[in-house]
Amino acid sequence: MLIRPPSDVPSSQITPERLYFNRRDFVRTAGMAAAAALVTPAALAACEGGAAARAARQDGALGKDDEPTPYKDITTYNNFYEFGTGKDEPAENAPRYLHPRPWTVTIDGLVGKPGAYHFDDLVKPFRVESRTYRHRCVETWSMVIPWQGIPLRDVLRRAEPRPGARFVELTTLLDPRQMPGQQSSVLDWPYTEGLRLDEAMHPLALLATGIYNRPLLPQNGAPLRLVTPWKYGFKGIKSIVRIRLTDRQPATAWNKAAPNEYGFYANVNPDVDHPRWSQARERRIGDWLRRPTLPFNGYAAQVASLYAGMDLRRNF
């Protein structure tokens, strides 16, 4: 489903939040279950234009137990070390300190059209899409989040990647006044993350601008964050100010801090345990019991071909 930017959508056209919590109404209203059933693995693996790419934009891979997580939980239980290491600290601190407007994102490196874009100018040329994805955190908790955003590949194409580009490096704002957690030494600031270019060009990779048809809140990474639903949550870099294309694999924040615990790829793999806990099961926020962790977070049909022939224990 494609939507206009949230600011342009009349309130009468926004799905009431209560419908997200009632499966029958939700399916009847959004038609997501039907869309998921119709999307083929081949279509979801497509990275170019046409009908296959349009099919790839559908949510897909969601099951009958994938009820969207309540908005309150999504916005109060967060990992965002720039505002504290406790799960409740980002919601308490980020709205007090972070000013997501005005905001500029620089796109540079191995691109034909580098530039610095004000947030609205960056987003405006593209349709904002609505996608509901599973979100799996390396600490073994998970959510189901109705995101809104723009495909990362559309932004990259606009910048015209040069032939030598193989990786995409993303960087969070560095400003200890707005992000007081950066005054600590818990990580090497600024926070950086990266993808291979083919991962970044995959139809499921999203630059999120909102949740539940509302703009992102500071604690969720306003105004722009990365969502790659087949990877662990630490890959979802928040409050992005730079996107750089490079020919070398970029260093990433958690991989630098603990390379034996946080690999570059960060694909959800229940067969590769974190050194301090098992990744075989997860607890969905709001549930009492744990459930089995799905390979690639349930998106194997869509993304496994990206890693054909790779040792996924070594490249974790």
Average pLDDT of every residue of the chain: 86
- Asked if 140 and 281 count as a contact pair (C-beta separation under 8 A), the reply is yes
- Is the pLDDT reported for residue 259 higher than 80? yes
pLDDT at 18: 46
pLDDT at 61: 77
- Is the pLDDT reported for residue 36 higher than 50? no
pLDDT at 20: 43
Burial of 137 (0-12, 13-18, 19+ CB in 10 A): buried
* CA pair distance 106, 114, nearest whole angstrom: 8
Distances, alpha carbon 52 to alpha carbons 35, 39, 56, 305, 315, in Å: 13, 9, 6, 16, 29
What's the whole-model pTM score? Answer: 0.82
Token code pair at residue 97: 């300190």
pLDDT at 194: 98
* CA pair distance 125, 158, nearest whole angstrom: 10
Fold of 2-307: Sulfite Oxidase; Chain A, domain 2 (3.90.420)
Kindly indicate the confidence band of residue 14, based on its pLDDT and cuts at 50, 70 and 90: very low
pLDDT at 174: 98
> So where are the chain's domains?
2-307
Cα radius of gyration (the chain): 18
Burial of 265 (0-12, 13-18, 19+ CB in 10 A): buried
Kindly indicate the confidence band of residue 60, based on its pLDDT and cuts at 50, 70 and 90: low
Q: Which one has a higher pLDDT value, 253 or 5?
A: 253
Mean pLDDT calculated for residue range 109-114: 98
- Is the pLDDT reported for residue 19 higher than 50? no
Q: Which residues contact 87 (CB under 8 A, 6 or more apart)?
A: 77, 78, 79
- Is the pLDDT reported for residue 16 higher than 60? no
- Asked if 237 and 83 count as a contact pair (C-beta separation under 8 A), the reply is no
Residue % of the chain over a pLDDT of 70: 81
- Is the pLDDT reported for residue 17 higher than 60? no
Token code pair at residue 287: 């549930």
* 294: phi then psi, degrees, rounded to nearest 5: -90, 140
Mean pLDDT calculated for residue range 64-91: 97
**What would the pLDDT profile of 112-169 be if each residue is shown by its tens digit?**
999 999 999 999 999 999 999 999 999 999 999 999 999 999 999 999 999 999 999 9
pLDDT-wise least confident of 33-47, 61-75, 113-127, 166-180: 33-47
Kindly indicate the confidence band of residue 278, based on its pLDDT and cuts at 50, 70 and 90: very high
**What would the pLDDT profile of 217-253 be if each residue is shown by its tens digit?**
999 999 999 999 999 999 999 999 999 999 999 999 9
